[in-house]
Chains A and B, each alone.
Chain A
Amino acid sequence: MALTDAIAAHFNYWIVIILMMTGFYLVIAHPNKINKLIGLTIFQTSVFILYISFAYVRGATAPIIVEGWDDYVNPLPHVLILTAIVVGIATTAVGLALVVRIHRAFGTIDEDEIQPLLTDP
């Protein structure tokens, strides 16, 4: 009972950890370069959720002064994560552009297939 309570109380963190490890595992283990980028995106997204869930205050409202409300959700992490999302998209874009060029240069995007092609100095 205590364990399920502990999990339920930190439910957002468990989601973050599962997503983060899923993404990280894909990056490390998958030989396909596009799948690696997908893993990287999941990895980054888990951090976005971490920030957003930090900011949440139960029973609070958006940070606009309204009669009858005393608790407000912190807007700053949302803004930070907007920036981080833009950075993440830029990274994915550059990564995908590289994959396109790798495909043109090697004819494949699978690491196990590229390895034997690397005989030139």
Chain B
Amino acid sequence: MSSHAEGSHDASHHHDDSHSPAHYVKIWAVLLVLLGVSLAGPEIGIRWVTLITAFGIAVVKAFLVIKHFMHLTVERKVAQYAIGACFMLMLLFFFAVAPDVMKHWGVNWHNEAASNMKREIERSEHHAPAADQAHAPADGAGHPEASAPAAATH
């Protein structure tokens, strides 16, 4: 990518800073640093740190792209509202459906099938050899377990 070299040439042109190639390259560099942090986060091993680095950084990255690459923050309001409204709708969808789909038990009911998923997952692990990826699985996914048949519902 020759963008690096290009950027320093164009920075002197008449565009205000926020539209200059040099500015874009700077933002890109920040994005890459953030990517690195989010990759490093899980290495620390603390679950909350991982989640914050992974998703918090995703939000920050998204904001950077939206603001500096898509220029949504300087766009006419109508476009901002349209995008914002659709995002809000997704939050509405998630939080309104969560009581039904996310939870698997209530005062008077228990989703048996969902509990059986755990066994299902572990059973399907038998088809795959032990993990040989960069990350070792958090819990011992490869250890053999009596492959109990999934709860019969048919």
User: Do A and B share a complex?
Assistant: no
B residues whose Cβ falls under 8 Å from a Cβ of A? none
